Amino acid sequence: MLVIGIIGSGAMGAGIAQVVATAGHQVHLLDQNAAALERAMASIATSLRKLTEKGKLTAEATAAAIARLHPTASMADFADCGLVVEAIVEDLAVKQQVFKQVEDIVPTDCVLASNTSSLSITSIAAACQRPERFIGIHFFNPAPLMQLVEVIPAVQTRAGLAEEIKALVAGWGKRPVLAQDTPGFIVNRVARPFYGEAIRILEEGIADIATIDWALTELGGFRMGPFALMDFIGHDVNYRVTESVFTAFFYDPRYRPSFTQRRLFEAGYYGRKAGRGFYDYAPGAAQPEPTRDPALGQQILHRVLSMLINEAAEALHLRVASAPDLELAMTAGVNYPKGLLAWADELGPATVLATLDHLYHDYHEDRYRASVLLRRLARNHQTFLSA
């Protein structure tokens, strides 16, 4: 069984450590901050004990998983690792420097991986002496609960490694998907219109935040509306991802951030964690009531949904991922009520295209340009999952 090193004991690092320790691996959890390590170990122990109380793990399995965790402040402890996963700050230079240090310690056949959600895997790999053993393994937060894991080979990654990692991740009880090393990979790329188009509708005064959230949850079946979800994620995270994707796509208008969210970010109104975001989370604060107008709700839903479908269509057209992996990513990764390609097939590609073309005609903005694949399927009366 592989010995695994985890760099960083924050929420993601601790969560990944819990996953792999529970799966039977000896784990070296590295952090230079002793207090952070102590908090991580306590958090993992608490999480495992809760699983025991719920009957999902035996007391023996919990004790064994905790015993496999070895907190450390010394990278020298990685000398016996077969896999090292980095989960630290989203800073390319910092990650590159860390992996340069790791390579001096680990065996030559040790696989190196980053949990980055927004940086180029190829760029991180370029700092390594053996970039062919580098790969992206992107978990979602909280790692012990979220099933999806994106596996992202770099340009330099050796043939076969991605499939090996997919099999390893599946053995941990996760559901891996394979993504190209493009900005946002699958989920953080395809999901951008859920936030961006909702904000655009708000900025235009078509509906308020409560009504937009109501339309997407009550009529669309999404578990959380876009504004509640952005507040939950935190604008310090969500806005930065949007900005990163926009920049990485050479400022493609489809991914342009909004001034509305930027102002919340600048004010420190990060959402739930700060007590204020799009909603007010102060004790006793009155929450806005939606306008439950079915016609308005359907207009909102179809506009946002058409943008999401278009993004999934473009990702499929450009071979960012296969159709099954795109569908799995959005259902298992962000809990969409159904896969976007299947949803497109239910509505009919021609219907989705008509919505986008109508928006493009009104706005003449490139953000509403339809994917060539969507247009082709609509013209030929085909569907995504049978094409």
Mark which of 131, 148, 178 sits at the end of a domain.
178
Mark which of 151, 178, 205 sits at the end of a domain.
178
Look up 311 and say whether it is catalytic.
Answer: no
Class of residue 376 by CB neighbours under 10 A (exposed 0-12, middle 13-18, buried 19+): middle
Tell me the CATH number at 26. 3.40.50.720
Look up 53 and say whether it is catalytic.
Answer: no
pLDDT tens-digit readout, 9-19: 999 999 999 99
54 and 110 assigned to the same domain: yes
Among candidate residues 115, 188, 238, 306, the one labeled active-site is 188
Q: What is the mean pLDDT of residues 76-101?
A: 97
Buried b (16+ CB within 10 A) or exposed e, 307-340: bbbbbbbbbbeeebbebebbbbbbbbbbebeebb
Rounded (10°) angle between helices 349-363 and 340-347: 90
195 and 235 assigned to the same domain: yes
Mark which of 178, 196, 221 sits at the end of a domain.
178
Token pair of 52 as six digits: 């025991």
15 and 156 assigned to the same domain: yes
pLDDT tens-digit readout, 242-295: 999 999 999 999 999 999 999 999 999 999 999 999 999 999 999 999 999 999
Report pLDDT for 387. 61
Q: Say how many domains are in the chain.
A: 2
Rounded (10°) angle between helices 340-347 and 294-317: 120
pLDDT band for position 118 (cuts 50, 70, 90): confident
Cα-Cα-Cα-Cα dihedral of 142, 145, 147, 152, to 10°?
30
113 and 209 assigned to the same domain: no
Look up 138 and say whether it is catalytic.
Answer: yes
CA separation (Å) from 323 to 27, 182, 186, 342, 343?
34, 16, 11, 10, 13
Peptide bond into 183 cis (omega under 30): no
Among candidate residues 28, 47, 103, 150, the one labeled active-site is 150
Question: For 268, phi and psi rounded to 5 degrees?
Answer: 80, 15
Full domain range(s) for residue 252: 187-387
174 and 269 assigned to the same domain: no
120 and 205 assigned to the same domain: no
Report the distance separating Cα 233 and Cα 277, nearest Å: 11
Among candidate residues 25, 138, 235, 302, the one labeled active-site is 138
Buried b (16+ CB within 10 A) or exposed e, 59-92: eeebeebbebbbbbeebebbeebbbbbbbbebee
Report the distance separating Cα 94 and Cα 240, nearest Å: 17
pLDDT at 209 over 70: yes
Among candidate residues 115, 117, 118, 371, the one labeled active-site is 117
Q: What is the mean pLDDT of residues 144-168?
A: 98
321 and 224 assigned to the same domain: yes
Tell me the CATH number at 278. 1.10.1040.50
pLDDT band for position 226 (cuts 50, 70, 90): very high
344 and 284 assigned to the same domain: yes
215 and 154 assigned to the same domain: no
Cβ atoms of 249 and 220 within 8 Å: the answer is no
Report the distance separating Cα 277 and Cα 281, nearest Å: 8
Look up 310 and say whether it is catalytic.
Answer: no
Which of 317, 312, 307 is closest to 327 using CA atoms?
312
Question: In the predicted model, what is the mean pLDDT of the chain?
Answer: 97
Q: Enter the pTM of the model.
A: 0.96
Report the distance separating Cα 51 and Cα 55, nearest Å: 6
169 and 194 assigned to the same domain: no
154 and 196 assigned to the same domain: no
For 42, other C-beta atoms within 10 Å of its C-beta total 11
42 and 191 assigned to the same domain: no
pLDDT tens-digit readout, 319-374: 999 999 999 999 999 999 999 999 999 999 999 999 999 999 999 999 999 999 99
